[in-house]
């Protein structure tokens, strides 16, 4: 269900399937990622905030799906800088972790699940998912860049580091601001 939500959220953007992991790629440039996002922020991970089941009952999206679970790990993120969109302060970011049948034993995290590091700064390209309670998901891939003196993409997409090689913080932020302002 979460994969379907992300797929629907990114349907207006070019996608490519990759091997070995099947991930939706919406951007091969920072301007494409910015255009495909409701919110672009640089923020620091404050901690985990539990999990949530995003699978919704098709007859009443305020209720969980009766037979399917789509579990996301929630993280509290302090917004240090909003590049696009408005939230300031703290937001909740959801990262797809597992999906399957309600009550299924032996859950194993998806191989593409990459946990956030508490205390780490990230540039995040996000979409609001209003149900069940208004968390943000990354748009698709790549949706997260680890921010330090060097900015490094973090993505299960195996070509992400080739398309987005590590670069210095100043040039990354300059291009990100230009993209958000619609400048080339």
* Nearest CA among 19, 45, 30, 28 for reference residue 121: 45
pTM: 0.79
User: Do 4 and 94 contact (CB within 8 A), yes or no?
Assistant: no
In tens digits, the chain (184 residues) has pLDDT values of 333 333 223 333 333 333 334 456 667 899 999 998 999 999 999 999 988 887 888 888 888 888 888 888 899 999 999 999 977 899 999 888 877 777 776 666 677 788 999 999 999 999 887 665 667 878 778 899 999 999 999 988 888 999 999 999 999 999 999 999 988 7
DSSP 101-133: ETT-SS----TT--PPPTT-EEEEEEEEE-TTT
Structure tokens belonging to residue 133: 């309670």
How far is CA 162 from each of CA 75, 145, 157, 172, rounded to the nearest angstrom? 27, 14, 10, 15
What DSSP state is assigned to residue 9?
Answer: H
What pLDDT shows up at residue 130? 67
What pLDDT shows up at residue 66? 84
What pLDDT shows up at residue 8? 27
Angle at 18 between CA 55 and CA 45, to 5 degrees: 55
What pLDDT shows up at residue 17? 34
What pLDDT shows up at residue 98? 75
User: Do 164 and 142 contact (CB within 8 A), yes or no?
Assistant: yes
* Nearest CA among 51, 74, 77 for reference residue 64: 51
The neighbour count for residue 164, using CB atoms within 10 Å, is 21
């Amino acid at each position: 269900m979460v994969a379907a939500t992300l797929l629907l959220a990114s349907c207006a953007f070019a996608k490519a399937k990759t091997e070995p992991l099947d991930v939706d790629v919406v951007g091969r440039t920072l301007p494409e990622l910015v255009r495909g996002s409701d919110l672009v922020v640089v923020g620091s991970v404050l901690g985990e905030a539990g999990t949530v089941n995003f699978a919704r009952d098709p007859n009443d999206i305020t209720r969980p799906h009766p037979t399917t679970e789509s579990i996301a790990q929630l993280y509290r993120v302090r917004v240090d800088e909003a590049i696009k969109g408005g939230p300031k302060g703290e937001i909740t970011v959801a990262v797809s972790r597992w999906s399957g049948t309600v009550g299924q034993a032996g859950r194993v995290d998806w191989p593409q699940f990459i946990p956030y590091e508490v205390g780490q700064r990230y540039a995040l390209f996000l979409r609001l998912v209003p149900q069940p309670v208004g968390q943000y998901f990354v748009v698709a891939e790549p949706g997260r860049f680890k921010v330090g003196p060097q900015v490094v993409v973090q993505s299960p997409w195996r070509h992400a580091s080739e398309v987005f090689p590590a670069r210095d913080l100043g040039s990354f932020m300059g291009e990100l601001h230009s993209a958000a302002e619609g400048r080339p």
